[in-house]
Amino acid sequence: MANKNIVILGGDGIGPEVTAWGNDVLKNIADAFGHTFSFQNHLIGHAAIEATGNPLPDETLDACKAADAILLGAVGHPMYDNDPSKKVRPEQGLLKIRKSLGLYTNIRPIQIFDELAHASSIKPEILMGSDILFFRELTGGIYFGEPRERQEDGEVAVDTMRYSKMEVRRIAEKAFDAAMTRRKILHSIDKANVLESSRLWRETVNEVAKDYPEVKLVHMFIDNAAMQLIKDPKQFDVVVTGNMFGDILTDEASQIAGSLGMLASASVGDSVGIYEPIHGSAPDIAGQNKANPLATILSTALLLDISFGMKEESQAVIDAVDAVLKDGFRTADIAESTTPKDKILGTDAIGQQVVDRIKAAVAS
């Protein structure tokens, strides 16, 4: 029996809707397996700006530092997208919490559920059997490098891609460790033919590789990797890459899973971790009971596994999602033209389907 403190950051748009079901799944797992999970809700992003003027209030950060794990919904609001005059922005809260908690590794599993093979725009025969684990460096690179500025005349802007050997080494080691538990293939993605930071990246990954002689290391340029990911995703096992490249590739990889609404992620370092779906805040459907909560629910499976070491409980969540899909239920984003209308469910209905299957599986 475990006692764990979980912070829920609903965030913006559909975030509160999907995290509500992640919260409910965790409550039911705790009940089923005899654990005690306590939950705290705190503000981040646009919701926090509206309430406090700060995208990451001190109260939120303090609660997260004291938590055993954090479940995050989504951050972002369209009012900021095309207005560069706004100096305080929701995404600043996300970047700050990653930096403050030392969450230097973003882990994104890309594994297709057989029932969703036809939901992708990629041919099923190309997709079937794909199982990729991405390791994206999260606190360095061009999103954090200095200097970053807009010059006074407004005609020139500067962002800096910066990496140290320490930053590359620590995420490379995590990726190699994961590869040792899988097919023992690691693709390192960079742009070493052009970027000096990528040449340091490749050099450092090669140094780490000496400690993992059983792992086949494959270097690949980002432009080729983007093409290969769609052409032949089954060639990839574990992938490690920098912040910006990982951001782009993992969103592209949503086509392998059929929808962004199916992809979970974990942001971890050496202490507390944040677990979240990779989709955005989707303000156009917020409050309409249309959002797909399955990525958030699958993120709770990662939370249980990585932060709490509860592999049986984690698998129970994954099995429940799989059972819902096998029974033909879909949200609108993963439905096909042949999906019966009575099988296309809203946020609450499909969330309840997952919870019901967790209860049934444990009862049996």
User: Among all residues, which ones are annotated catalytic?
Assistant: 143, 191, 223, 247, 251
Alpha helices (runs of H) in the chain, residue ranges in sequence order: 15-33, 46-52, 58-66, 90-100, 124-127, 165-180, 196-209, 222-231, 243-252, 254-257, 294-302, 311-326, 347-363
- Burial class from Cβ neighbours inside 10 Å (0-12, 13-18, 19+) for residue 236 reads buried
**N residues, the chain:** 364
Tokens of 301: 């499976």
End-to-end CA distance of the chain: 20
Q: How far, in Å, CA of 233 to CA of 257, rounded? A: 11
User: Strands 157-158, 185-190: parallel, antiparallel or unpaired by DSSP?
Assistant: unpaired
Tokens of 310: 């509860």
